[in-house]
Amino acid sequence: MRWQQDMPGFKKALGRWDSVAIITAIVLGVGIFRVPAEAAGYLKHPWLILSAWFLGGVICLLGVFCYAELASTFPKTGGNYIYLRESYGRGAGFLFAWTELLVIRTGSIAAVSFIGAAYLQSLLAIDKSFIKLMAVSIVLILSLLNIFGLSYGKKVHNFFTLINIAALVSIVFFGLISRKGDMAHFFSGAVSWDSALLRALGLALIPILWTYGGWHENTFVAEETKDASRVIPQALIIGISIITALYLAVNFLYIYLIPVKDLAGSALVGSDVFNVLYGAQGRKIFELLVVVASLGSINAMIITGARITYAMAKDNAIFAYIGKVNAKYGTPHRAIAINVLWCSILILLGTFNKLLFFTGILVWLFFASAVAGIFILRKKFPDLERPYKVWGYPATPIIFILICITLFINTLIFNPVPSLLGLGLLASGVPVYFVSRLLKERKG
């Protein structure tokens, strides 16, 4: 295939901790400063809240074990695209990449850029009318850094990740030794062990798992990772372990400082916590922290997102041009440029809420499909080398798939309109795929 032969390879610039940093930079974004209030609103009791956050980490760890096998078996750029293509055929891979381009990836980047720009506007006391322009500027600057080489991009996201982790650890440490909270907050209220509790837990897990979203992102840059078959599974396990520990510690601090009934009503729990700890100046510290977290998350999503377009370009003539790797910089510069252009359009036309409301259901659909592919791939390629095999097979992938299906149904029931819109955008890729196949047949 001509478009495959003409595409130069990537430069291997990422090590183990670069891979860990990609995961943590994306996951440790702004969700931990917003979602805990929603979880508290559903669960009411301190230990149930902490248990739900722990359960979210365990669910992601099950997914990590599954993705470790997929990544070590197919250490190729594209992540889910590669796994779905090898399991179900090119059509399934195309629909994933199409949805990432239109909804999941670019929509997430645009949404997080809104948050970063809004807090930057408040921090610098700039007129609110400039928020969208600032959001576009953030995406543009970070995209340019990544176009000129992954070495620049990885330095940026390693820097932001280090600051973010250090900030969260410092917040927890100084918050706990401040003695401004009350351990009695952990023993307030009673738990009703009935069916309503299971329903509340199911609802709470939706935003909690959204906050954990991105734990698999290092698989999208496998060809740029040194010794990918070994390093990526290690980074997956290390990354989700760090994230789970930090989330539990931060939520413990929130409950220590703020009673659960007040926590549930807090629109910006992080801001309230800083206000308790440091007074009025705490708000400015919090705003700076959110800006840094947003920049790190956006940068990491740019790094991984353009690689999906690149992987699709290797298999599809329509996307061959935009997926080409620049010979000088070793980056998919056109894919990055296309992504930043579409992100900018979404920012200018949308709002934060509009950008987020239809992505959730698609995430669970593709997680379930990719992990189900493990069973297909073991039968399809029995002799293929698998440096890492999923722990607890077949129970682990089955449990993870069932959880994904449950969350898919939950999202569809409680958010039908946005869910159907998301599924509609997925379906819009079907005619585009068939057109691309016809073009290929005519050329070939």
Q: What is the pLDDT of residues 19-56, one digit of tens each?
A: 888 788 778 767 787 788 888 888 888 999 999 999 99
The Cα–Cα gap between 401 and 390 comes to: 14
Q: Which pairs count as long-range contacts for 430-436, CB under 8 Å and 24+ apart, including other chains? A: 430/95, 432/94, 432/98, 432/318, 433/91, 433/94, 433/95, 433/98, 435/318, 436/94, 436/316, 436/317, 436/318
278 — pLDDT class (breaks 50, 70, 90) = confident
Percent of the chain with pLDDT strictly greater than 90? 23
Q: What is the pLDDT of residues 67-111, one digit of tens each?
A: 999 998 998 878 899 999 999 998 999 899 888 877 888 888 888
Q: What is the pLDDT of residues 381-404, one digit of tens each?
A: 999 989 889 999 999 999 999 999
Per-residue confidence (pLDDT) for residue 97, from 0 to 100: 86
Give the pLDDT mean for 301-316.
Answer: 72
151 — pLDDT class (breaks 50, 70, 90) = low
The alpha-helical segments, DSSP class H, found in 225-279 are 228-257, 260-263, 269-278
Per-residue confidence (pLDDT) for residue 326, from 0 to 100: 65
Per-residue confidence (pLDDT) for residue 57, from 0 to 100: 95
Q: What is the pTM of this model?
A: 0.81
Cα-flanking dihedrals φ and ψ of residue 401, to 5°?
-65, -45
* Residue 164 pLDDT > 60: yes
* Residue 65 pLDDT > 70: yes
* Residue 224 pLDDT > 60: yes
Give the pLDDT mean for 316-345.
Answer: 73
Q: How far is CA 203 from the centre of its chain?
A: 19
Per-residue confidence (pLDDT) for residue 8, from 0 to 100: 47
Give the pLDDT mean for 369-379.
Answer: 96
From residue 437, how far is each of 3, 98, 143, 188 by CA, in Å?
A: 14, 15, 31, 61
Per-residue confidence (pLDDT) for residue 63, from 0 to 100: 94
> Degrees (nearest 5) of the Cα angle 384, 385, 391?
110
Per-residue confidence (pLDDT) for residue 389, from 0 to 100: 92
Residue 167 or residue 398, greater confidence? 398
* Residue 322 pLDDT > 70: no
* Residue 237 pLDDT > 60: yes
Per-residue confidence (pLDDT) for residue 319, from 0 to 100: 67
341 — pLDDT class (breaks 50, 70, 90) = confident
Give the pLDDT mean for 192-207.
Answer: 79
Give the pLDDT mean for 179-208.
Answer: 81
Return mean pLDDT, the chain.
82
Q: What is the dihedral of CA 300, 36, 63, 224, to 10 degrees?
A: 10
Give the pLDDT mean for 234-258.
Answer: 92
Residue 7 or residue 193, greater confidence? 193
For residue 225, give the 3-state DSSP assignment: strand
* Residue 354 pLDDT > 70: no
Per-residue confidence (pLDDT) for residue 152, from 0 to 100: 56
* Residue 6 pLDDT > 60: no
Half-sphere exposure at residue 336, Cβ-oriented, CA atoms within 13 angstroms: 27
